Amino acid sequence: MFDNDKMKLLYKRMVVTRQLEYGIREQHKAGKVRGPVHMCVGQEATGVGACACLNDDDWVTSTHRGHAHFVGKGLDLNKMVAEMMGKSTGYCGGKASHMLIASREKGMLGGCGIVCGALGIGVGYGLTFKMDGSDRVALSFLGDGASNEGMFHEALNMAALWKTNNVIFVEHNMYGLTVRADRHLSVENISDRAAAYGIPGVSIDGNDIIAVIEATEEAVARARRGEGPTLIEAKTYRVLGFSTGDKGGYQSQEEIDSWTTPEKDPIIRFAKYLQEKGICTEADIEELNAEAQNDVDKAIQFGLESPYPDSSVLMEGIFA
């Protein structure tokens, strides 16, 4: 496990993630963030916890619902929000949107709007690290829906075959767009699919950041040793629906409520853990909450005040 400072940082990151989502939702309603935004409220533990086990030069491929991954990998909040608003000060100069945020410096390479679209790329990273004889690791996030894509099976087979330096982290949030898992998955545990490729697969409670850290550390260590990929399936839940454009109605209020109890909510659980372990007092928690809110507010302000990119950049950078 990590030292106290880091644990506090992780807690703050989880709160930042949640406050970011709600803040962005407000900005979206105000027309400052345009296009569909895919928010990860309820899934803070997976992104923040898994990324905590990585160094800056370990690379992550993300999904369309990657804000917890970005925050967890230590990306600058200002540049994240600016990118979500399409401003020139964003990570990608405003060209990317919230789905395609990337930071080479922090090893987030990167956001991806195609379901399972980046897994092959992640395996390409893991293969390269192996070819170079390094112990760098590539961790790829994907969802339960993605585990049905052809790419999932092709990439897992090759990663397993070549024992590439990869961790495949599935955030099973129970829905592939509007279709619930029991209506799209042929198995109950996606981790069972690991056996099909001869690699270890493990299912964990994705709302328990400690469980996430433990499983990820083990998988990362395995990959660093050159023993190949591990499939982690973290069971979690997305509270706010698919995207800002989601009409809703397919996630029952009952179901949503069952996942947002203090026993299930990842932030509340971690706060409890930190206090039980004597890492934080209640006041510390309050302070961290306030700091997180403040950081988010400042980032939103930064985004609002930043300019749009100049039209002259439109045709630049198509080819290297």
Partner 1 sequence: MSKRFYKDVLREALIEEMERDSNVFLLGEDIEVYGGAFRVTEKLNEMFGSMRVMDTPISEQAQTGIAIGAAIAGKRPVLEMMYMDWIGLTLDQMVNQASLLHYVYDGQVKLPFVMRTQGGARASASAQHSKSLEAWFCHIPGIKVVSPSTPYDAKGLLKAAIRDDNPVLFIEHKLLYGTRGEVPEEEYILPIGKADIKREGSDCTVIATSAMVLEALEAAEELEKEGISIEVVDPRTLVPFDKETVKESIEKTNHAVIVHEAWKTGGFGGEIAAIIAEEMFDSLDAPVIRLGAKDCPIPYSPGLEPLTVPNKDDIIAAVKKSLQ
State the residues that interact with partner 1 by CB under 8 A.
59, 91-93, 95-96, 100, 102-104, 109-110, 112-114, 117-129, 131-132, 138, 150-151, 154-155, 157-158, 161, 317-320
Contacts of 294 (CB under 8 A, 6+ apart): none
Q: In 10 A of CB 312, how many CB atoms?
A: 7
Nearest distance in Å: CB 99, partner 1? 10
Please work out, in degrees rounded to the nearest 5, the angle formed at the alpha carbon of residue 214 by the alpha carbons of 213 and 215: 95
Please say which residue, 30 or 318, places its beta carbon nearer to partner 1.
318
Please say which residue, 154 or 218, places its beta carbon nearer to partner 1.
154
Q: Which residue, among 188, 168, 233, has the nearest Cα to 206 in the 3D structure?
A: 233
Is residue 225 within 8 Å of 235, Cβ to Cβ? no
Q: Which helix (H) or strand (E) holds 75?
A: none
Please say which residue, 119 or 219, places its beta carbon nearer to partner 1.
119
Nearest distance in Å: CB 164, partner 1? 9
Record the tokens describing residue 58, joined without a space.
Answer: 């370990």
Nearest distance in Å: CB 302, partner 1? 18
Q: Which helix (H) or strand (E) holds 299?
A: helix 282-305
Q: Which residue, among 57, 50, 70, 51, has the nearest Cα to 202 in the 3D structure?
A: 50
Is residue 146 within 8 Å of 122, Cβ to Cβ? no
Helix 4-29 vs helix 282-305: crossing angle, to nearest 10 = 40
Please say which residue, 90 or 206, places its beta carbon nearer to partner 1.
90
The pair phi, psi for residue 132, each rounded to 5°, is -80, -5
Nearest distance in Å: CB 123, partner 1? 5
Please say which residue, 33 or 99, places its beta carbon nearer to partner 1.
99
* Single-letter amino acid code for the residue at 254: E
Nearest distance in Å: CB 89, partner 1? 11
Nearest distance in Å: CB 137, partner 1? 12
Please say which residue, 59 or 270, places its beta carbon nearer to partner 1.
59
